[in-house]
Amino acid sequence: MMKMTKAAFVAATIAASGATMVQADGHQVVDSIHFLVPGGAGGGWDGTARGTGEALTESGLVGSATYENMSGGGGGLAIAHLIETNDPGVMMVNSTPIVIRSLQGVFPQSFRDLTPVAGTIGDYAAMVVHSDSEITDFGQLLEMFDADPTALNIGGGSVEGGMDHLVAAMVFQAAGGNPSDVKYIPYDAGGEAMAGLLTGEIQALSTGFSEAIALANQGEVRILCVTSAERVDAAADVPTCAEAGADGMEFVNWRGFFAAPGISDEQVNAYRDALEAMYETEAWAAVRDRNGWVEIWNRGEDFNAFLENQEQVIGDLMRDLGFL
């Protein structure tokens, strides 16, 4: 579904041409990038854009980076703006919600109206329980669900029909259950949902893997399964959801970049080359480690195919759950 291997830096990928692209010292790939952030300062999108921009400029791959925050409409304002201005010098950051929100009709556009540049970082999802919980593995959780789904409260840090809910529904669906039986309890944020787990008002939590691993290392939670295709090095004893009984379950919450619909192939490929080369730089390693990001790499056509697949899977599930 998603390639985890870091792309090797190949000098030959530096293909630079066009007005805003230069090849100054055989290193710089793009002259300048204007990052469009669909949310306010300080959010997840903002951090991704600024972190990526920092790595790109400090490593010299990009001459200079500027940023523009445009919040509103659940990200819809920025999408409309990018389409309307059709400025090839702009790269917009986005993530899984662009798929979910366009399915929900929050905004009329979808990723198809833009030019997908690449998926750059991501996070798997995980099912966790409190470390004192009597539930020790995913099989037991499944037994509880099969016995009485109304007695099993599964929390998450998103709204009903949001990402954490969809992941929980996908997991139980893959394990043979009815996804609309999943009793999902929404919290405002992952931290609040964690507090709910501690007070015992929810028995399990659907959350991001990076958040889960931090809490597991503190000894507060037990991770039942992770939604990656293969076990993750950072927690080798945690089974994937697929091997724990949710057949074929895979999910990754990606973050990536989009360009204007009318951008030339040359220019968008220069962006992709710059991002691909970025993985090998020290500047990126520093930014990545500081933020605890997991690298994924999904370029151009692969990214498009991935988005289409995700839209299909999530769309079907949301229809099953009655959200569409």
Q: E strand or H helix at 167, and its extent?
A: helix 163-174
Q: E strand or H helix at 65, and its extent?
A: strand 62-69
Q: Is 22 in the site for another protein (CB under 8 A)?
A: no
Tell me whether residue 202 or residue 241 sits nearer to another protein (CB atom): 202
Neighbours of 265 (CB within 10 A): 9
Tell me whether residue 107 or residue 297 sits nearer to another protein (CB atom): 107
Residue 139 CB, shortest distance to another protein, in Å, is 24
Sign for the pseudo-dihedral over CA of 24, 92, 249, 224: positive
Residue 191 CB, shortest distance to another protein, in Å, is 5
Alpha carbons 86 and 251: distance in angstroms, whole number: 32
Tell me whether residue 147 or residue 236 sits nearer to another protein (CB atom): 147
Residue 209 CB, shortest distance to another protein, in Å, is 18
Q: Is 169 in the site for another protein (CB under 8 A)?
A: no
Q: Among residues 150, 233, 236, 289, which is the contact residue for another protein, using CB under 8 A?
A: 150
Q: Among residues 77, 229, 235, 283, which is the contact residue for another protein, using CB under 8 A?
A: 77
206 φ/ψ angles, rounded to the nearest 5 degrees: -105, 120
Q: Is 191 in the site for another protein (CB under 8 A)?
A: yes
Q: Among residues 14, 114, 174, 202, which is the contact residue for another protein, using CB under 8 A?
A: 202
Residue 190 CB, shortest distance to another protein, in Å, is 9
Q: Is 153 in the site for another protein (CB under 8 A)?
A: yes
Q: Is 185 in the site for another protein (CB under 8 A)?
A: yes
Contact call for residues 110 and 102 (beta carbons, < 8 A)? yes
**Helix/strand/coil for 79:** helix
Q: Is 132 in the site for another protein (CB under 8 A)?
A: no
- Pick the piece of the chain touching another protein (CB under 8 A) from 116-124, 196-204, 277-285, 295-303: 196-204
Q: Among residues 69, 109, 180, 304, which is the contact residue for another protein, using CB under 8 A?
A: 69
Q: Is 40 in the site for another protein (CB under 8 A)?
A: yes
Sign for the pseudo-dihedral over CA of 228, 207, 159, 140: positive
Residue at 199: amino acid letter = T
Site for another protein in 206-245 (CB under 8 A): none
Alpha carbons 4 and 294: distance in angstroms, whole number: 9
Residue at 86: amino acid letter = N
Number of residues that bind another protein (CB under 8 A): 39
Angle, vertex CA 270, rays to CA 269 and CA 275, nearest 5? 95
Contact call for residues 124 and 228 (beta carbons, < 8 A)? yes
